[in-house]
Structure formats: C-alpha cells, structure tokens
Amino acid sequence: MALKRRASRLGRLVMGPGAGTAMLGGVGLGFANAVGPGPVGVVAAAGTGAQEVMTLLDRWGIGVSQVIGVGGRDLSADVGGLMARDAVRALDADPRTEVILLVSKPPAEEVARTVIGASRDTPVVAACLGMSAPDGRLAGAPLTATLEAGALRVAQILGRPAPDLGRNPGGAAAIGGVGAGRTAVRGFFTGGTLCYEAQVILGQALGPVYSNIPLRPELGLPAPDGAHICLDLGEEEYTQGRPHPMIDPAARREIMREQAFGADIAAVLLDVVLGYGSHPDPAGEIAGTCADIVAAGSAVVCYVLGAHDDRQGLGRQRATLAEAGAIVADSAAQAARTAAAIAGRVTAGQP
C-alpha cells in the first residue's frame, strides 16, 4: 500500500503484487496473449480474467488498447483500489480507448464504485465475479457477474457483433455416456479467475461448490462426500517447489490421476491457457488423461483460453482435446454451463 500511494503521487503504476498479466503499447508482460489492437482498455485485478477478456475480444475482431494488471488485492477494502483507480484515469485519458472493462474477483463494493467513478468521459463495464445489483448497474456502469458477459456488454456498447455463447456445445450428447449415479463436477484449473467464475456459474445451477479459493469461507476444503469441487492449482499449496501449472502441466496431470476418477463424478471441468509464458503444448500434456476419464464414464469439458496468433495454435489445441473425447467450449463460462448441464442432466439446448 505504501508503494502504491507513492506511485500514485509520482504518476506511476505498481502492477502487483500478484499481477501476472499486462499488455502495454502492444507488448505483453508476464502471462499474456498475442492479441491485436483495438478500442478496449482493460483494468484487471485478476490475471487469467484479463487473459480471458482480451482473447475473447480478439477472437471477436475487437482487440484491446492496453491491459493493466493491478494485483488481486487492489480492489479489497484495505487497499482501496489505489492502482485500479489510477489505471482507469489513465485509460480515460487515452485517445485509443473507447470503453474500459474492469475485471475483478469479488471486490469490496464501495471500492469498485470509487474505481468506476474515476472515469469522467469513457464508458466503463464492470465484470466483477459474483456481484449483482438490482438494476444490473454499479455506480452507473453495467455490472456483470461473469467475464464472458462483461466482454459481450463491451461488444454491445461498441456496436460490434459477438457470438451467441448461451448454449452448451454438445452437453446433451455427453449425458448419454455418463454413468448412473454420477452427479458431481470436479474442476481442475490453472487460472484462478476462471476457477472463481466456474464457482459462480456452477453454484447458481447446482448448489454449493467447494474450493481452495472459495466464494464464501464456509465452502472451503475439505468438502463433504459427493460435493462439487473446483480447485485452483496455481495457488501456493500446489506450487511450492515447482512451476505454476500453466508453465508445467505435469502437476495438474498428477492431481487429475488422483482425484478425477471418482464414481460420483459426472463432469470434469478444465481450462487450458495459451500464450506467452505458458507451456508449448498444454493440451497434449493432458489429452491422454482426458481420454482415460471419458473411458471411465465421466464427461470432460475443456476450454482453451487463447488467441488465434498464440504460438501454441488455438485450433490445434482445441482439436487435440476433441480427439481425446472432450467437449470443447468457446468460453470459460460456456464450459462451466456445459458441465452443470451434464451433472444436472439438463435437456439439450437449454441455457
């Protein structure tokens, strides 16, 4: 906080602690993706959240001006949005930025209001995971509870076409292959923000979801038998003495071998994150395990977070997982909805 206060006085930004993603002047810092230029400025207190929205916007032909990571705690009540506020002000003054997209894990509401209010002239969309408001707005800005919805709202403001991502891709076909008595979802994530978003969506559809990064303290681990569980494998308890699973997928593969074959599991939910800093073939590293899970009677639902120009090859990564028998979704939110449909045996085609 002292560093951020000093930076603010000096007209500088402190991107962190805990900020793994940024793109300034077209240059990616940390985990980032090969996305094109565009009119959307992103302020993110969530690393893979920033990557999700920047790649969705890129794939929809919109692009980004700047992506400023401020660290996951910046929008907490203690820190007060010190850097997010200054980042919004900087983007408001940037002639290349036409819309600002604020991305955050569950923030302190009053802090989020202050940050949104820092923009005088540029419209803001707030994608604050799990937050809601009676009129769908926060401090006058459109408020969305998922990253996907935030990106869609930005496309709408800009008058750009965006795909309909409301329905699940092949979830009904998978239902027939899921064994009787299988009702649980198990998520094994490399992106913490995607793990949060999945908990929001699964919780709305299926009930309580337990996690090592729970939405509420009472949903922490250990979980009761048969519960829905989403794990962020990038947290410190999983990365002591070894690389982050986006860099080295071996740790996730080992955990999946231990925990993804339960007789109660209807769907295994996975993210695969491409881009700078990530493993050169993350889908290939888990494809064999995915095929084994499908053969054992559970569905596998995957989302590949990436841009078409990422070196790993977005199309190749998606094809690798599909060949292993996985359902491959077009957004992280769509993947969570699909897993929920399978676990809940929802009829095909429903949102």
**pLDDT tens string 52-67:** 999 999 999 999 999 9
DSSP one-letter code for 220: B
Question: Among 118, 135, 158, where does a domain finish?
Answer: 158
Q: How confident is the model at residue 348 (pLDDT cuts 50, 70, 90)?
A: very low
Token match 């990571």: residue? 69
Whether residue 182 contacts residue 268, with contact meaning beta carbons closer than 8 Å, is answered with: no
Whether residue 62 contacts residue 158, with contact meaning beta carbons closer than 8 Å, is answered with: yes
Q: Tokens standing for 252?
A: 């996730």
> Could you tell me if 179 and 121 lie in one domain?
no
Token match 């009761």: residue? 224
Whether residue 53 contacts residue 150, with contact meaning beta carbons closer than 8 Å, is answered with: yes
> Could you tell me if 198 and 308 lie in one domain?
yes
Q: In this structure, what CATH number is given to the domain that contains residue 289?
A: 3.40.50.261
Dihedral angle over CA of 35, 278, 260, 205, nearest 10: -30
The whole-number average pLDDT for the span 319-344 is 97
pLDDT digits (tens, 9 = 90+) for 290-326: 999 999 999 999 999 999 999 999 999 999 999 999 9
Token match 């309580």: residue? 208
77: left (phi over 0), alpha (psi -120 to 50) or beta: alpha
Q: Tokens standing for 274?
A: 């491409």
pLDDT digits (tens, 9 = 90+) for 224-282: 999 999 999 999 999 999 999 999 999 999 999 999 999 999 999 999 999 999 999 99
Q: From the centroid of its chain, how far is CA 340?
A: 17
Whether residue 265 contacts residue 233, with contact meaning beta carbons closer than 8 Å, is answered with: no
> Could you tell me if 194 and 79 lie in one domain?
no
By residue range, what is the domain housing residue 30? 2-158
Question: Among 97, 131, 158, where does a domain finish?
Answer: 158
